[in-house]
Amino acid sequence: MIGAGPAGSSLALRLARQGRSVLLVDGATFPREKTCGEGLMPAGADELRSLGLAHLLDQGAPFRGLRYRLPDGTRAESDFPAGQVGTGLRRALLDEALVSACQAEPELEVRLRTWVRELELPGDGGSLPRARVGEEWVEAELVVGADGLRSPVRRLAGLEAPAPKLERFGVGGHFRHAPLGDPVVEVFVGPGWELYTTPVAEDVTNAALLTDRARLEGLRGDLEGGLRGLLREAGGRCEALAAGESLHRVRALGPLALQATRAHAERLILVGDAAGALDPITGEGVSIGLVTSRIASEVIAEAFAAGDLSARALASWTRRRRAEIAPLARFTSALLFLARRPRHAARVIRSLAEAPGTFGRLLGVAAGTAPISSISVRDGVRLLIGV
C-alpha cells in the first residue's frame, strides 16, 4: 500500500482486519499538514465510526450545514437533512490517528519517511509486482496506489488521464481568532474564486481558496498575504480570520482534479485521489476515500478468494468505484459549470436562498447520505438555471 492518507490507511486497516498481511508505506511523517478544506461530510464520519475511530470526531468541530455568500450580501443557507452533522477535522489529527490505528494492527507493518520511487508491474505472465521501498525492493501479491492527487504510482503504471483543460488550484491555511459561534461551512463566491471557511475548533478556522492559475500566479510570493487579502474582501466572518494568527505556512496545491484512465491493472489498484480526484468544490475527497476504501476491501477480498488478481478480475473495482461516485461527480460538474459563470452562479444562489427545500435536498446528496433520485427535476432546473 503506497500512501498513508485517509484512503490508504483506512484500506490498510480494513485489509489487516480481514487477516491480510499489509505493508503501508509513506514518504511523509505524521502529523503533517495537508492542503485541504477539512470538512468531513456525514458519510465520511460514518466510515470513521465503522473503523472504530468515533472518538476522533470529538477532536473536530461539528457543523450543521452549508452557507453560500455573494459579494452583494446574498446568502443561501441550509442544514444537512435529518439532523446530520459534518465535522471540521484537521488533517494533521485525522491522518495521524489513522496511521496510529494502522501501527496498532499486528498484521500491518507501517514504514514512514520512506518513498516509493520505482515500480515493476507484471505483464500477463504471472510474475509478482515489485516496488522499490526506500532502498529495498519489495515483492507483493497486490500493489495499491493510494499516493494522492499527483500519484506517482498512477504515472508509473501508465494510467494517467489527460489533465482537465480548465486548471484549478487550492490554497489553504489555518487561522486562530476569537470564537465565531457559527457552526456552518461557509463558501464565499467571488469573481473567479471561492473561499471556503471550515471551523475546526472553537477558535481555529480552515480557510481554503479554489481558483484558477492566473489568480494563483498573482498570489505567488506571498500566499499568506494574498489569502488574508481575499478573506478581507469576503468580509463577514472571514474578517476575523484575516486579522487572526496564521498557524502554519500557507500552501498551494494543484492543478486539481487529475484523473486516471481506470483504477486497476494487473495486480494493481488505485484508491482515493490517485484513482481520480473530483474538484474539491463539493468538499468530498476524504469522505470518498473512506467510503470507497470499504468497497475496495470487498473487491480485494473477492479477488483473493477466487485466487484471481488479474486486471480482468480487478476491473470490478473501477466499475463499482465509478458507480459510487457518479452522483457526486455530476453534482461537482454542475457546481463547476456555475463557478465558471459568476453572474449565473449569483442568480442560482439567490434562487436557492428562496428555496431552502431544494438546497436541503442538494446537501443530502453532497453529504453522501441521500440518493441522487431525491433531487427532483425542479431542483435540478433551479440548480442549473436559477429559476
Ligand X SMILES: Cc1cc2nc3c(=O)[nH]c(=O)nc-3n(C[C@H](O)[C@H](O)[C@H](O)COP(=O)(O)OP(=O)(O)OC[C@H]3O[C@@H](n4cnc5c(N)ncnc54)[C@H](O)[C@@H]3O)c2cc1C
- Residues in the site for ligand X, rule: CB under 6 A? 2-8, 25-28, 34-40, 115-116, 146-149, 152, 170, 172, 208, 210, 253, 256, 272-274, 277, 280, 283-287, 289
CB 62 within 8 A of CB 42: no
CB closer to ligand X out of 201 and 380: 201
| Residue 375 to residue 362: CA distance in whole angstroms | 7
DSSP 260: B
Minimum distance of ligand X from residue 147's CB (angstroms): 4
> Among 67, 75, 40, 74, which residue's Cα sits nearest to residue 56?
40
CB closer to ligand X out of 115 and 304: 115
In this structure, how many other beta carbons lie within 10 angstroms of the beta carbon of residue 72? 7
| Residue 289 to residue 259: CA distance in whole angstroms | 14
CB closer to ligand X out of 65 and 289: 289
- Size of the chain in residues: 387
CB closer to ligand X out of 287 and 332: 287
CB closer to ligand X out of 35 and 358: 35
Minimum distance of ligand X from residue 11's CB (angstroms): 9
Dihedral angle, C-alpha 272, 278, 282, 288, nearest 10 °: -20
Minimum distance of ligand X from residue 184's CB (angstroms): 13
Minimum distance of ligand X from residue 228's CB (angstroms): 17
Residue with cell 508491474: 121
C-alpha cell at 53: 475511530
> Is the previous residue joined to 371 through a cis bond, with omega within 30 degrees of 0?
no
C-alpha cell at 286: 476524504
Minimum distance of ligand X from residue 272's CB (angstroms): 2
CA distances 245 to 88, 182, 306, Å, are: 19, 19, 55
Minimum distance of ligand X from residue 376's CB (angstroms): 26
Minimum distance of ligand X from residue 377's CB (angstroms): 28
CB closer to ligand X out of 210 and 352: 210
| Residue 345 to residue 351: CA distance in whole angstroms | 10
In the complex, which residue's CB is closest to ligand X?
285
CB closer to ligand X out of 204 and 355: 204
